[in-house]
Chains A and B, each alone.
Chain A
């Protein structure tokens, strides 16, 4: 039993921001027990928060491995070759866990699990030490789903299939990526917007995403549908984003990495910031949550299951290598990319991300991501927190960027600075709420004792790069910024209920297309050596 004594406890879920104590017993936050013998750790003068939660970071799966293969020298912990900036993009599992833990993060969600690759993704997640993990299953471009929707456009048949897919892949929720776009691309469609139609099915992207959104909602899946919209990365795509928000019709919807679709179009077809309009729409529509996908400068690799987008962008690969694949559902594309500070588009993307963070004034609905590694590696988080908390730091950074790049951005006029309390909402309390994880993201009694402790400093980069202490389920995993020992976490999943009659449709389909039973891609209970504690189930809304 541990007594964390005298720190400034910032716990927005319990509306607490005061100097005080936190007690840990049996891996949970507990009330003080006068009869207990505590190991006391003096944390006076330090900041005590719940462990950080990242809802969107590509940390495992086939596309991540493809990126590792494509640029085998782009590895963490290696000095990049002279003149190249390859280091630190797709870390091996052991490094991913260690680096997250050292920053004080204790739960990370892989947002794009290909259902056909669920076994593979979960094997890799299981090898990520220290932290708990979860994964969202990608649905919305597979023939089976599109057939169900074509047959019953009201989406009546979808619910059972979605629940079945989530259960069998041990997912924590559902993501849809350019819904219909990958299916349309197989039929040689090159541009796919919200109201464009997948040729053989007669279904628009709007119809697919709203049906999925309703299914997720009605199944009681805590995390709303996680949507990657159409036209990502294209000038003028703000219209798609705003139309999508309107199409949600008040039902919960999470928009992933919105920085990548807050673009206007200049007269010459170039990029302009439309962060203001996106922020306005988010503020006005309380059913919408967003994560940012902030750009961090430097070499990275873009990993996306938006195969159409990646195909269109392939000639921008830097270095000039790429992989594009058509999957049973989404497929994907792997493109190295270098966000150079001197590049006007990259500089504007950087500014748009920060504008969105600063303009959306509700930290309960805006989430902290770089869409790792697409906007930049998650190891850039401390730097980005610094930029959010320090207008002076932003100004200093803006001075180094090409002056014309930020003409359409209002970033220089934004003086807002995030407080530690707001940071704790955005990176702890709000993501726990979004995932429906009632025992995470807070320091109230009964919560899992995932705790990170920092020394407050003016240099927020230094502060958040290395936590003084991190506890995972009550166990100290980081001390003075360095990970201790090797603790293995759990993988979160949900089990929405479904009518077994869906299996009567799945069986002949899988027999015909795979020559196998529908559970061929399933992640069984006795998975990976049968460790019974590998998975931990989260409740769905009843």
Chain B
């Protein structure tokens, strides 16, 4: 079965009818979700345009935030793994990433430094994720103090003692250690760090580049978040979060936050698109819900309309972000009878258009 109305099996036609009716009469619809493949995202954005809705999907807005900082330096997972002789992780996610992916010695880089063990330091991580790495005495709360102190120490300006509980001499030593890297990489995740801490990290990296090479590795958000951000950018010119309520695309990451709109009751209908994993929305608001997800999902309350869709790369071919490639890849899959997100959304758009005409 591919469609349900209020939890009861329905024909695809009836479900499309009901969903089309919801979208046509909605005053302020939102298209949200965890993510979809590029074709699904393109269709979701066209539909948002058609219904004058908001588009805010998954981690796309988080992927965008670092790109809007005062300064940003980053590299690819492959370069970090192959070349970094020194790694500093910030936060739990980064520490886990380094333990899983960066334990080996680097293979590229200046001769004489290849195959020497990589130095890994962790800050702001709880002890269980640190494992073999050297842990810096900085809890999450003390990260701003640590990074601020390091910026000063790297630049050679005096460091006050009270920042993070680390002694002045230790800052100096730590700064010298970092400066000793050939190709240092700070691993971090935008979902795990306050934006101001991320800004400070980039100040530190910029300061280190005065004498050596340092950059960062930004860990990706899941479910094709980078692909969602990409497709939104090239189709509308804007990063996620976007509203089409005024006709033209408008960009505002605060106003068009789907979670905020729904919880505050500002929106009356929502599409929830989760093509990769069966994840239900976490919001507390109660808009009329049209869900497009794979099987095995548990909703607190059955959606008004639910379309069962296939998984990109498994049930149908598609393009999406792949962590190994650190980019969009194209995956060919044998045809199945499962609806793709794009097909379901395009059918829905036709239903909205036809009734509107």
Q: Which residues of A line the B interface, CB within 8 A?
A: 60, 62, 64-66, 68-70, 72-73, 75-77, 90-95, 116-117, 119-120, 123-124, 127, 143, 185-188, 199-200, 311, 314, 320-328, 331, 512-516, 520-524, 526-530
Which residue of B68, B79, B209 has the most chain A CB atoms within 10 A of its CB atom?
A: B79
Whether B234 lies near A526 (C-beta < 8 A) is no
Task: Note all chain B residues with C-beta closer than 8 A to A322.
Answer: 71-72
Chain B contact patch, size range: 35 or more
28 contacts between A and B (CB under 8 A): A62-B327, A68-B234, A69-B68, A69-B229, A70-B67, A76-B237, A92-B236, A93-B235, A116-B327, A119-B319, A120-B230, A123-B234, A123-B328, A127-B42, A186-B109, A187-B110, A188-B212, A199-B111, A200-B109, A321-B70, A323-B71, A323-B72, A324-B72, A324-B73, A326-B76, A327-B75, A513-B82, A529-B39
Contact pick for B68, options A65, A72, A187, CB 8 Å: A72
Residue from the list B319, B325, B326 in contact with A528, Cβ < 8 A: B319
Question: When the two chains form their complex, are residues B325 and A94 in contact, meaning their CB atoms are under 8 A apart?
Answer: no
Q: Given the complex of chains A and B, what is the CA–CA distance between A358 and B248 in angstroms? A: 42
Q: For residue B111, which residues in chain A have a CB less than 8 angstroms away from its CB?
A: 199-200
Contacts of A77 in B (CB 8 A): 248
Q: What is the distance, in angstroms, from A336's C-beta to the closest C-beta of chain B?
A: 12
* Nearest Cβ on chain A to B244's Cβ, whole angstroms: 13
Give the residue name and chain of the A residue nearest to B64 (CB): A69
B193 shortest CB reach to chain A, Å: 17
B188 at the interface (CB under 8 A from A): no
B324 beta carbon closer than 8 Å to chain A: yes
Cα A93 to Cα B46 in complex, Å, equals 14
Q: Are A116 and B237 in contact (CB under 8 A)?
A: no
B76 near A327: Cβ-Cβ < 8 Å:
yes
Known contacts: A60-B234, A200-B110. The answer to whether A143 contacts B64 by CB under 8 A is: no
Nearest neighbor of B316 in chain A, beta-carbon distance: A529
Given A69-B67, A77-B248, A526-B317; A187-B182 close (CB under 8 Å): yes
Contact with A along B27-39 (1 / 0, CB 8 A): 0000000000011
Whether a CB of chain A sits under 8 angstroms from the CB of B329 is: yes
CB A315 to nearest CB in B, in angstroms, measures 10
| Contact A91:B237 (CB < 8 A) given known A200-B110, A314-B71, A327-B75 | yes
Within the complex, the shortest CB–CB distance from A357 to chain B, in Å, comes to 31
Q: Judge whether B79 and A186 touch: CB under 8 Å.
A: yes
**CB pair A514 B324 closer than 8 Å:** yes
Question: Interface readout for B68-87 with A: 1 if CB under 8 Å, 0 if not?
Answer: 11111111101101110000
Which chain B residue lies CB-closest to A73?
B251
CB neighbours of A524 from chain B (8 A) = 330, 332
Among candidates A73, A186, A327, residue contacting B213 with C-beta atoms closer than 8 Å: A186
A323 to B215, CA, bound (A): 11
Residues A119 and B237 in contact, CB atoms below 8 Å apart: no
What chain B residues lie within 8 Å of A90 (beta carbons)? 237
CB of A95 within 8 A of CB of B237, answer yes
Which residues of A sit under 8 angstroms from B248, Cβ to Cβ? 77
Chain B residue nearest to A189 (CB atoms) is B213
Q: Would you call A199 and B110 a contact (CB within 8 A)?
A: yes
Whole-angstrom distance between the alpha carbons of A240 and B132 in the complex?
49
B231 interface residue, CB < 8 Å from A?
Answer: yes
